[in-house]
Amino acid sequence: VITLKPKPLTREAFAPYGDVIDTEGAKLITINQGFAEKAYDLANIDVATEDGTTAVHIFTASPRPTPTAITLMERHPLGTQLFYPLQNRPWLVVVCGDPHDTQSFEAFTASGLQGVNYAKKVWHHPLLVRDDHSRFLVVDRKGEGNNLEEVEVRARIQLL
Amino acid sequence: VITLKPKPLTREAFAPYGDVIDTEGAKLITINQGFAEKAYDLANIDVATEDGTTAVHIFTASPRPTPTAITLMERHPLGTQLFYPLQNRPWLVVVCGDPHDTQSFEAFTASGLQGVNYAKKVWHHPLLVRDDHSRFLVVDRKGEGNNLEEVEVRARIQLL
């Protein structure tokens, strides 16, 4: 059994997979007559393939048993997919370069102030949370075409 | 002085101005092998005018003095603008049909679980919050063109 140990989520470590959505390290400007600060242009939303447009959803997730068996990975060939937590609680991200290459799996712990935007075609695990009723704002693609690929992970991989 | 009394934010009351982002009353499906529920397609994101694309920001807002003088309204002629709160705290929305028609102003109290997506060209006040360091995920347009109009409100209007 291969055990994934989550690393802290940073822009640098996550760069092969997409964007980290975080005010830390972001470009900042003061707006609204001084009553707000804007951390701007935090994600590369890319949904235009095959005439797609931007969709917004709220996902409410429950924890899986731990250690969590990683048995399925998915990707979206036609668009990016962004998750931002709606409570300040850490959550988990599992990605890989190739779901049949166990060495290519990586796990990250996102803080409750960090979201991610998976680039197109990046293999990732469905939402992984530690707390019941964990809510996320999701920004992805709507439109024609098959935008979901799922693959069974045959190796035994677990997340602590 | 005209005083605006905020009404509860509902999809019906807000329909002339855009979308209310809320899991209540939304279409729901179970996803992620039963470990998540998806309230889907909650907003009509419309940013394509003049080759615009979707941008994502985080705004951190501070309260204004109360009662709040409504002295400026703004609108975005080239795209929608979505705000979703990142803390479960009520916040305020002020919109109008015509900034020179005091009778056209309306105010709403959004719960901490409700966002809004202003339709293109809808006059709205910049963020209005009751708590310091109120954070919002914002989804709007990036691209060429002038996407901001601001107008001074000459009548004396205040928000309780």
pLDDT average per 10 residues of sequence, chain B (160 residues): 97 98 98 97 97 98 97 98 98 98 98 98 98 98 98 96
Bridge partners for B134 per DSSP: B61
B39 touching A (Cβ < 8 Å) = yes
A20 touching B (Cβ < 8 Å) = no
DSSP alpha helix (H) spans, chain A: 11-14
Q: How confident is the model at residue A159 (pLDDT cuts 50, 70, 90)?
A: very high
SS3 B153: coil
Predicted pLDDT of residue A91 = 98
Predicted pLDDT of residue B91 = 98
What rounded mean pLDDT belongs to chain A? 98
**Considering only CA atoms, which of B23, B29, B2 is closest in space to residue B11?**
B23
Chain A residues touching residue B55 (CB < 8 angstroms): 40-41, 43, 45
- C-alpha distance from residue B41 to each of A67, A89, A134, B18, B92 (Å): 33, 25, 19, 14, 23
pLDDT digits (tens, 9 = 90+) for A16-68: 999 999 999 999 999 999 999 999 999 999 999 999 999 999 999 999 999 99
Shortest CA gap B8–chain A (Å) = 21
Predicted pLDDT of residue A109 = 98
Predicted pLDDT of residue B56 = 98
A151 touching B (Cβ < 8 Å) = no
Q: How far apart are CA B144 and CA B26, in angstroms?
A: 34
Would you call A60 and B39 a contact, using CB atoms and an 8 Å cutoff? yes
Predicted pLDDT of residue A98 = 98
pLDDT digits (tens, 9 = 90+) for A101-112: 999 999 999 999
Chain A residues touching residue B38 (CB < 8 angstroms): 57-59, 138
Query: For residue A109, what are the contacts with CB-CB under 8 A and spacing of at least 6?
Result: A6, A7, A8, A9, A90, A91, A92, A93
Shortest CA gap B96–chain A (Å) = 18
Predicted pLDDT of residue A121 = 98
* Surface of B (118-137) touching A: CB under 8 A: 126-127, 137
Predicted pLDDT of residue A111 = 98
Chain A residues touching residue B61 (CB < 8 angstroms): 32, 35-36
Would you call B56 and A43 a contact, using CB atoms and an 8 Å cutoff? yes
CB B132 within 8 A of CB B62: yes
For A154, phi then psi, to 5°, come to -85, -30
Predicted pLDDT of residue B43 = 98
Predicted pLDDT of residue B110 = 98
pLDDT digits (tens, 9 = 90+) for A77-94: 999 999 999 999 999 999
Whether ipTM tops 0.95, in short, is: yes
